[in-house]
Amino acid sequence: MSATPLYHPNIDARPLRGREVEQKTRPAKEALESRPKARAKRREQVRASRLVVRFVWVGSLTFAVSMLYGNMKVEQTRYQWQASVKRLKEAKRAEALLRDHLAHLTGLEAIGDWAVGQGFVAPGAQP
């Protein structure tokens, strides 16, 4: 065997420096854009990222609106509950007043006073 150096026509034997590394390792942007498959792939990636952004935006908007609507409904319910408690207290107070008035009207003294006022005479009473 002989010790002949490996030679390939596409490999440059000298070391690369600085910008040469970038040029050799990455294709130029223009070259990438000129390739139809690469352009189509990039277009699909942009389209997919736009769809994801739209989805996240619509989801966030829906979440925010739902939260605000839910809070509004909770506050509305709380306000209605407080109003109903206030009406209940007023109704109980009015009922207590009516009971007191009814007890006063159905008492023995009230019935006796009414009977005397109408001209009734108690049985067994001296005229």
Phi and psi (nearest 5°) for 14?
-80, 150
pTM score of the predicted model: 0.47
Inter-residue contact 121 to 127 (CB < 8 Å): yes
In tens digits, the chain (127 residues) has pLDDT values of 555 555 555 555 565 565 555 555 555 565 555 667 777 888 899 999 999 999 999 999 999 999 999 999 999 999 999 999 999 999 999 999 999 999 998 888 888 888 889 988 877 766 5
Structural tokens at position 62 = 């829906």
What is the C-alpha separation between 112 and 90, in angstroms, rounded?
Answer: 33
Domain ranges of the chain: 19-116
Cα separation of the two ends of the chain: 160
**Rama region for 124: left / alpha / beta (φ>0; ψ in -120 to 50; rest):** left
What is the C-alpha separation between 108 and 91, in angstroms, rounded?
Answer: 28
